[in-house]
Structure 1
Amino acid sequence: MKKLVNDPRQVVREMLEGVCDLHPGLALLADEDVVVRADLPPPASRPVALLSGGGAGHEPAHAGYVGPGLLTAAVVGDVFTSPSVDAVLAGIRAAAGPAGAVLIVKNYTGDRLNFGLAAELARAEGIPVEVVVVADDVALRDTVPPERRRGIAGTVLVHKIAGAAAAAGQPLAEVAALARAAAGQLGTMGVALGACTVPAAGRPGFEIGAEEVELGLGIHGEQGVERGPHRPVDALVDRLLATIVEDGGLARGQQVALLVNGLGGTPPMELAIVARRALAALRERGIVVERAWSGVFLSALEMPGVSVSVMRLDAARLALLDASAEAPAWPGSGRIEAARKVLAAAPQPPAEKAVAPGPFAPALKRGALAAAAALEAAEAQLTDLDSRAGDGDLGISMLRGAEALRALPEGAWADPPKALEAMAATLRRALAGSSGPFYATALLRAARSLPGVPQPQDWAEAFSRAVASVGELGGAKPGDRTMIDALHPAANAFAAALPEGLAAALKAAAIAAEQGAEATTSMTPRLGRASYLGARAVGVPDGGAVAVAIWLRALAEA
């Protein structure tokens, strides 16, 4: 797997150098991979220092949480490897004064050993040190005792609680006690859709099927406690939350904080969908979500997946979460509304009175539904074509358009102008991207040029005006490798064959559209997303032109 790195042995140092370059409030120790607040007062006047850390690969943790109201220093080891005792000790010396230091450690053997020994050495030097271990992974509830569970993403909330207490001037024992209490009221569980790749290894940590997920995993690229089928995200979130709620004994009326954490390879779109369901599922149980965050807080390199953390709150813990904090990765207050705000749409113009169906109504409906059926059947083909030269949404967009046409009421087909206007309105809303405006504009232009009882020549004129409107709106002309390359010859062929009758004209238009769409295979695109590919798009027909040929053929055959 390709990585944007230089030497795999230098990724940690170079990463920390970049973090500190970008954030003037951070400083990097010269001889250790330790990030420290750059604005620390002299040791004698420092409050309790708060340190955390672990292996790299969890960015933005842990250096991203160094700042006022959060960590005083972060100690970073190699990727997924605990930092050395000497590095932790150097961090304690750099950050702590007589008030001492609290070390927040995730419950992995290497971290506990190295941070624990460093704490002993610091105490021997006269620096008071407390160690707080976070073990929030509820997926291990049936596997190991509570004290042996892993520490995972919920640790970030413990950083915030302890950091606020330290910034408020609380003594060492109190800061440690508050951190331990917070860790004890915290549960996290994750799901991964795939593996990640450690730079030094150069290959994924495990193999997983296309329709499988790993449930209950840690943060080091390992497999979960269970492999299961991939399901809709709501079902996966419900599974995670059911375990967290049961393990934590969360009951109706309980106040909590929610953290939705991406594992590194999950886009914000999917994290927001997870957060949506997590909030809803907790509220369905009567649990009050006082604060919530969604983002990448503690990752596992580029692993696709998510973890959900829930922390039980009381008034004191909520106040500590709300206390001022500033660090590169801290997302802010997390304040949310008790329910989603939904604004009513602006009132629509009054509906026109129903018009009795005219003589064209059955044919108009039959033709539109035939076109819809053809586009539905071609979804996969259009998606494939658009994926090769665009963004891949044409198939699903045309499918939504087809469904919208099917949903039009009977009155929509009363006469040709009304039918075209109704189709324009529904396609404008249903079709994504550029397709919606193009089809809606063409249909509206055609509707305005048609009388209630059109003659054959009226249809030819309407077709030509519709095609012209698409060119005017998008700036395309024949030869640019767009839907115009199917529409333009189709309109010309329709007009030329009209003396033979409407049926013959439609068949001629369909043939011309198919030939025009095929001709785009050898064209270099000059407009649209495909133009960004240039000559690389040659060899594949334009998806928009193919869609035109598909619905015109269906119309002709209907």
Structure 2
Amino acid sequence: MTDDIRTKKLINAPEDIIPEAIEGMLLAHPHMLKVEGATGRAIVAKDGPRDGKVGIVIGGGSGHEPAFAGYVGRGLADAAAVGNVFASPSPEHIMDAARAVDGGAGVMFLYGNYTGDVMNFDMAAEECEAMGVPAHSFAVTDDVASAPKGREGERRGIAGDFFVFKIAGAAAEQGRDLAGVVAAATKANENCRSMGVALSACSLPQTGKPNFELGHDEMEIGMGIHGEPGMRRGKLETADEVAEELMEAILADMGLGHGDEVAVLVNGLGATGPLELYLLHRRAAKILDAHGIHIHFAWVGEYCTSLEMAGASITLLKLDDDLKALLDTPCRTPALTVAGDLAPAGSLTRRDHASAGTGATVDHDTLAKDGPITPARFRTMMLAMGAAIHDNRDWLSELDGVIGDGDHGVTMDIGWSAVRKELAEERRETVTEISERMAKAFLDAVGASSGPLYASAFRKAGAMVSDRLNLDAAATVAWIEGICTGIQSRGGAQVGDKTMIDAWVPAVAKAKEALHAGGDVIACLEAASAGARNGRDYTAEIESRRGRSAKLGARSLGHMDPGAASAHVMLVAMTDAARD
């Protein structure tokens, strides 16, 4: 990545960009929107949720404006859960939205098909069900460039979110039950296809650097909305040539025929203006006409962006009578208005969403006290891990920019900053209790995939040593093994997938070898660090099989996985702090 390229943004402090943007949005649309919930990340329609109606909650990472909060309003989404830039909202963000829209008929979550979003929204759906609120978690999969035909479930959700959200919101507005809303969204998703092209990179507010490299005369066909690589990179072509390539792929996948009817979305990615977008639509419309396909309605503009990325996407939704009626159902949101008479607003009865707490106290006198790692020392080790992630944040993001969306270091730093704040006050508690606090702080601060993965990791690690006050060598190794087990149980990755597991598994293996050889705590931690380093380096030799980088194939060779790199950073810091 070019080190001397810096981008310019009209922002204040990068860490304040999301709450300040939300505040600005509310000030711009006070008649439509409000914020509910303790997290401040649930934007709710003032006249949307009501008794007897399925609550529609959409969401995802920021940086795609007007998606997602721009589609909150009467007749579309009842609420949006707002994540950090390019990172999923956390389950608590999503639950704030769910609690605000629960009208007694169930809640439907809709989002793009990304690992972090799937995990976080699924966790929120599980929590809803535990409270007695029927919930359905739904991932949009419209991007034809991200997986071949026959593997549609692996595809990314990009601008097609626009159509699927609209259809689901209209179905709920018409009074359909949860199963009926799910059926409508499913039909829309199955008949929606998109493909995009990128002309330039975007940059994260926290780094101020382009999150991938693309030559001044190059374009990438099929690139995702987070900068994920597409199908091919080549020289910049004309608007007609680009439109033809995008449409060819979409039409081949959809199997549209003479007499079919579609809705069209030509979407700008942030830095491509209407003048160019209308050129793309011009050619796309002529291609459809040549095939005898009628356009029911077309939208041209910015509906799902990627910060300041230059480029565009084309989306088609094949219509039948029901989908057409749902598409035409009136709605009023900041980003989309479909004209027509809106039904009178109903009332929403506030429901008790309290869940039973754990509340069990721990008798410290019954816990094993042998071992040099006291809770106070353990807390110091955790703070050191967080500081190391902060110091390596930019490097980790640069690693991610090559094979992912460039935010891994930023996301991990957000999570660990929340942990460091949570642990700033020393309490009389066990390693297990510290680990539980870390899990909640990390998950509440970070959506993305890292939030659920490390929250599950910290909880499992703490459970592995719940019988101890102090950690000896065996308990330290058990805690590290719990991290690995927790990540695998939540995410399902295996060795060889090119993920953080490729560092954590050998770290556990080497730590156990040191333990069986009679090693003390330091020896076991040093062995774990060495194992993580070997695993990290190994990821550069293999192709990615999971996550956003899985679409790269052979192009991921030669680049280490940022998650594996951050695992090594944490273990080294943990080891150094244990020595002091």
TM-score by length of structure 2 reads 0.56
Tell me the CA shift for residue 252 of structure 1: 1.4
Q: Closer, same or farther in 2 for the Cα pair 1:40/1:276, shift >3 Å?
A: closer
Aligned to 2:47: 39
Aligned to 1:227: 233
Aligned to 1:262: 268
Tell me the CA shift for residue 102 of structure 1: 1.0
Secondary structure in 2 matching 1:180: helix
Q: Measure, in 2, the Cα distance between the counterparts of 1:72 and 1:51.
A: 6
Residue type matched to 2:169 in 1? Answer: G
| Aligned mate of 2:201, from 191, 195, 201 | 195
Q: Percent identity?
A: 45
Tell me the CA shift for residue 96 of structure 1: 1.4
Secondary structure in 2 matching 1:191: strand
Aligned to 2:321: 315
| Aligned mate of 1:63, from 53, 63, 69 | 69
Is 1:244 the counterpart of 2:253? The answer is no
Aligned to 1:531: none
Residue type matched to 2:76 in 1? Answer: L
Aligned to 2:176: 170
Alignment of 1:309-388 (within 5 A): 309-332=315-338
Instruction: Decide whether the 8 Å contact of 1:205 with 1:222 is kept in 2.
Output: no
Aligned to 1:274: 280
Residue type matched to 1:271 in 2? Answer: L
Aligned to 1:289: 295
Is 1:100 the counterpart of 2:106? The answer is yes
Aligned to 1:114: 120
Tell me the CA shift for residue 90 of structure 1: 1.4
Is 1:28 the counterpart of 2:35? The answer is yes
Residue type matched to 1:138 in 2? Answer: V
Secondary structure in 2 matching 1:156: helix
Q: Measure, in 2, the Cα distance between the counterparts of 1:298 and 1:246.
A: 24
Instruction: Decide whether the 8 Å contact of 1:133 with 1:180 is kept in 2.
Output: no
Cα offsets for 1:317-351 (capped at 9, x unmatched):
001111111001015469xxxxxxxxxxxxxxxxx
Is 1:48 the counterpart of 2:54? The answer is yes
Aligned to 2:308: 302
Q: Measure, in 2, the Cα distance between the counterparts of 1:298 and 1:128.
A: 29
Q: Measure, in 1, the Cα distance between the counterparts of 2:124 and 2:283.
A: 42
Cα offsets for 1:527-558 (capped at 9, x unmatched):
xxxxxxxxxxxxxxxxxxxxxxxxxxxxxxxx
Tell me the CA shift for residue 5 of structure 1: 0.8
Q: Measure, in 1, the Cα distance between the counterparts of 2:188 and 2:104.
A: 25
Tell me the CA shift for residue 30 of structure 1: 4.9
| Aligned mate of 1:84, from 90, 110, 113 | 90
Aligned to 2:22: 16
Q: Unaligned stretches of 5+ in structure 1?
A: 335-558
Tell me the CA shift for residue 272 of structure 1: 1.2
Tell me the CA shift for residue 167 of structure 1: 0.6
Q: Measure, in 2, the Cα distance between the counterparts of 1:278 and 1:20.
A: 36
Residue type matched to 1:278 in 2? Answer: A
More moved, 76-85 vs 205-214: 205-214
Residue type matched to 1:29 in 2? Answer: E
Q: Measure, in 2, the Cα distance between the counterparts of 1:311 and 1:40.
A: 25
Q: Measure, in 2, the Cα distance between the counterparts of 1:201 and 1:282.
A: 42
Aligned to 1:439: none
Residue type matched to 2:179 in 1? Answer: A
Secondary structure in 2 matching 1:52: strand
Residue type matched to 1:193 in 2? Answer: L
Q: Measure, in 2, the Cα distance between the counterparts of 1:198 and 1:308.
A: 24
Cα offsets for 1:455-483 (capped at 9, x unmatched):
xxxxxxxxxxxxxxxxxxxxxxxxxxxxx
Residue type matched to 1:34 in 2? Answer: A
Q: Closer, same or farther in 2 for the Cα pair 1:197/1:144, shift >3 Å?
A: farther
Q: Measure, in 2, the Cα distance between the counterparts of 1:135 and 1:118.
A: 20
Tell me the CA shift for residue 38 of structure 1: 1.6
Instruction: Decide whether the 8 Å contact of 1:63 with 1:74 is kept in 2.
Output: yes
Tell me the CA shift for residue 46 of structure 1: 4.3
Aligned to 1:490: none
Instruction: Decide whether the 8 Å contact of 2:199 with 2:311 is kept in 1.
Output: yes
| Aligned mate of 2:157, from 117, 133, 151 | 151
Cα offsets for 1:188-243 (capped at 9, x unmatched):
00001110011012100111112110110111123323101111100100100000
Q: Closer, same or farther in 2 for the Cα pair 1:174/1:144, shift >3 Å?
A: closer
Tell me the CA shift for residue 117 of structure 1: 0.8
Secondary structure in 2 matching 1:104: strand
Q: Closer, same or farther in 2 for the Cα pair 1:23/1:46, shift >3 Å?
A: farther
Instruction: Decide whether the 8 Å contact of 1:48 with 1:172 is kept in 2.
Output: yes
Q: Closer, same or farther in 2 for the Cα pair 1:15/1:104, shift >3 Å?
A: same
Residue type matched to 1:273 in 2? Answer: L
Secondary structure in 2 matching 1:181: helix
Q: Measure, in 2, the Cα distance between the counterparts of 1:46 and 1:40.
A: 12
| Aligned mate of 2:141, from 135, 145, 148 | 135
Q: Measure, in 2, the Cα distance between the counterparts of 1:157 and 1:313.
A: 11
The alignment yields a C-alpha RMSD, in angstroms, of 1.6
Secondary structure in 1 matching 2:194: strand
Instruction: Decide whether the 8 Å contact of 1:220 with 1:300 is kept in 2.
Output: yes
Q: Closer, same or farther in 2 for the Cα pair 1:90/1:216, shift >3 Å?
A: same
Q: Measure, in 1, the Cα distance between the counterparts of 2:338 and 2:272.
A: 21
Q: Closer, same or farther in 2 for the Cα pair 1:40/1:138, shift >3 Å?
A: closer
Residue type matched to 1:14 in 2? Answer: E
Q: Measure, in 2, the Cα distance between the counterparts of 1:37 and 1:142.
A: 37
Q: Measure, in 2, the Cα distance between the counterparts of 1:228 and 1:333.
A: 42
Q: Closer, same or farther in 2 for the Cα pair 1:47/1:241, shift >3 Å?
A: same
Q: Measure, in 2, the Cα distance between the counterparts of 1:181 and 1:153.
A: 16
Instruction: Decide whether the 8 Å contact of 1:66 with 1:73 is kept in 2.
Output: yes
Tell me the CA shift for residue 28 of structure 1: 1.2
Q: Which has the higher contact order (CA 8 A, sep 6+)?
A: 2
TM-score by length of structure 1 reads 0.58
For these two proteins, the number of residue pairs brought into alignment is 332
Instruction: Decide whether the 8 Å contact of 2:194 with 2:314 is kept in 1.
Output: yes
| Aligned mate of 2:81, from 63, 75, 85 | 75
Cα offsets for 1:472-504 (capped at 9, x unmatched):
xxxxxxxxxxxxxxxxxxxxxxxxxxxxxxxxx
Q: Measure, in 1, the Cα distance between the counterparts of 2:239 and 2:74.
A: 36
Residue type matched to 2:119 in 1? Answer: L
Q: Measure, in 2, the Cα distance between the counterparts of 1:331 and 1:272.
A: 20
Q: Measure, in 2, the Cα distance between the counterparts of 1:326 and 1:206.
A: 36
Which structure would you say has the larger Rg? 1
